[in-house]
Amino acid sequence: MKLKFSKLLACIFLCASLFNCKTVLINKNDKTPPELAMGAFTQGLENKAIAKSNAMPSKMLVASNEKVFWLANASDKSGLKKLEIEVVSGGLLNFDNRLLQKVEKENDTSATGISKTGILISGKLQFDSPTSKVILKSKATDWAGNVTFTPTVTVERIPKPVARLSANTTRINRGQSVTLTYETRNANRVFINTSQLNTLNGQKTVNPSVTTDYILKAENEVGITTDTIRIHVTQPPAAPRINSFTVNDTSVEKGDQVTLRWNTSNTNQVQLFQDNRLVHTTNSSGSKRIRLQSIGTVNFKLEASNGTQQVTKRVSVRVDPDTNCFSYPFAGNFSVLLRDRTRVLYRYPPSNLYQGQRITSVKNPFNVDVILRIGTRETRINAGQTTNFFNGLGVGSEWRLLVPNPQPTFVKINVCTERN
């Protein structure tokens, strides 16, 4: 702003303190002190501070980069002699392109004792630092020696607030949350959008359902600073589904094959695990044929994912040993150890026919209970029942069978063994 324009604005602003400047005869007997006003203002008169001789001290806060102008105006009906303005501390006065600590203007007089009734001086403030505080005062003297002082005018520079807003992510699916981190300096009020925050620095969790701009606003007495971040919200993909997951047989023997089938929706990856070991990968529905070589329970797990969500289903298969079932012993391969009115005891001698094969189950095919002894193990088997009591014993051990008398027509036991 040019100095001429500054003077004009200042004159408008302090119009209440100005008097018409005219020439009068000097009256040295005048007892009335001069009228005096002093002020500081920013460009456009948006911020101002005025001190008059009959008022209280005045103060204004300005941003650290803001230009500040000053003005002093005095008047006296009997003629004004001198107007002074000075900086008590914090800077210098710029007057007619000269930096001075104190500015004075004396009213010219003629030999006939004529003086003007008013004096006006103005200029620009020069601060010592971006955060310095300038204190001004002024003094007016008339030709009669009357003196008027003004209270001080203080112009304090304050840095504009600083605001910084960040987020842990700027892209989310609807339903997810975002953590905003806000940092401010030189602020005494902080807002995110319209919500005032309790702290000047911190974090805030938000859950936008649509793409949203978050505006951090930091305020102090001299200004507002903002920072904006946009959080993009997208519709999440449809949740993955396993419509079906089946196996064609849940009980098989060792070495058999099973077929697993599955149908899925909204997936881009489908993985099949056998006892936590990955055995097959695809991206949609499908099937897999697997040969089972381990005895016991085999667990299958299907995992289906859409990239962000995952679902799981499980099926199990019972694997029994591969067995060979037959009637034992063969014809003529037994002897009678005991026969009386109520019972008959048969002996089946050791045999090499099934050498190395291990018993998995034994069945009593008769309609009466029997007692069977194989090697050193002995148990009762109810009529028509099957037992696993002899599991693991070799078929070639000596067998003894006790049956009621009269004995059944066939004295053979059904036995199953695990194949080699």
Q: What is the pLDDT of residue 170?
A: 96
CATH number of the domain that residue 188 is part of: 2.60.40.10
Last residue of some domain: 203, 234, 265?
234
Report the CATH number at residue 331.
2.60.120
Q: Which two tokens stand for residue 301?
A: 């797990």
Both 58 and 118 in one domain: the answer is yes
280 in the same domain as 189: no
Query: Per-residue pLDDT for 20 more than 60?
Result: no
* Cα Dmax for the chain: 174
CB 105 within 8 A of CB 86: no
Looking at every residue in the chain, the average pLDDT score rounds to 87
- pLDDT mean over 133-159: 92
Strand partners, 361: 416
Label residue 6 by pLDDT band (50, 70, 90). very low
What is the structure's pLDDT at 17? 41
- 96-110, 124-138, 273-287, 366-380: which range is least confident on average? 96-110
- What digits encode the pLDDT tens for the residues 329-354? 755 577 888 888 899 888 888 877 77
Same domain, 413 and 339: yes
Cα dihedral 23/28/32/36 (nearest 10): 50
Q: Residue 142 contacts by C-beta under 8 Å, 6 or more apart in sequence?
A: 30, 33, 34, 76, 78, 79, 80, 81
The domain total for the chain is: 4
Last residue of a domain, one of 262, 294, 320: 320
pLDDT for 13 equals 42
Return phi, psi of residue 93, to 5°.
-100, 135
Confidence bin at 420 (pLDDT 50/70/90): low
Whose tokens are 């005045």? That residue is: 58
Same domain, 127 and 13: yes
Burial degree of 281 (CB within 10 A; 0-12, 13-18, 19+): exposed
Is residue 260 domain-shared with residue 218, that is, in the same domain?
no
pLDDT band at 129 (very low <50, low <70, confident <90, very high): confident
155, 136 in Cβ contact below 8 A?
Answer: yes
Strongest mean pLDDT among 29-33, 113-117, 226-230:
226-230
**29, 144 Cβ separation under 8 angstroms:** yes
Question: What is the reported pLDDT for 356?
Answer: 74
Q: What is the 8-class DSSP label of residue 65?
A: T
pLDDT digits (tens, 9 = 90+) for 263-279: 999 999 999 999 999 99
Task: Give yes or no for residue 112 having a pLDDT over 50.
Answer: yes
Least confident segment among 154-168, 242-256, 315-329: 315-329
Q: Are 100 and 169 found together in one domain? A: no
Hey, what are 265's tokens? 């929706």
Mean pLDDT of 98-116: 84
Identify the pLDDT of residue 241: 94
Task: Tell me what the mean pLDDT of segment 31-58 comes to.
Answer: 89
pLDDT at 283: 87
Positions of E strands within 117-255: 118-127, 133-142, 147-149, 153-158, 162-167, 171-173, 178-185, 189-192, 195-196, 202-206, 212-220, 223-234, 241-247, 251-253
What is the span of the domain harbouring residue 141?
3-158
* pLDDT, tens digit (0-9, with 9 covering 90-100), for 386-407: 898 988 888 888 889 898 888 7
- The gap from C-alpha 382 to its chain's centroid, in whole angstroms, comes to 69
The answer on 129 and 41 residing in a single domain is yes
Is the pLDDT assigned to residue 187 strictly greater than 50?
yes
Closest CA to 37 of 22, 21, 15, 20: 15
Structure tokens at 97: 């392109």
Q: Which of 138, 158, 178 is the last residue of a domain?
A: 158
Mean pLDDT of 221-227: 91
Same domain flag for 8 and 60: yes
Q: Tell me what pLDDT residue 378 has.
A: 93
pTM here?
0.50
Q: How many other CB atoms sit within 10 Å of the CB of residue 387?
A: 15
Mean pLDDT of 71-92: 91
Q: Please report the pLDDT score of residue 409 as a whole number.
A: 66
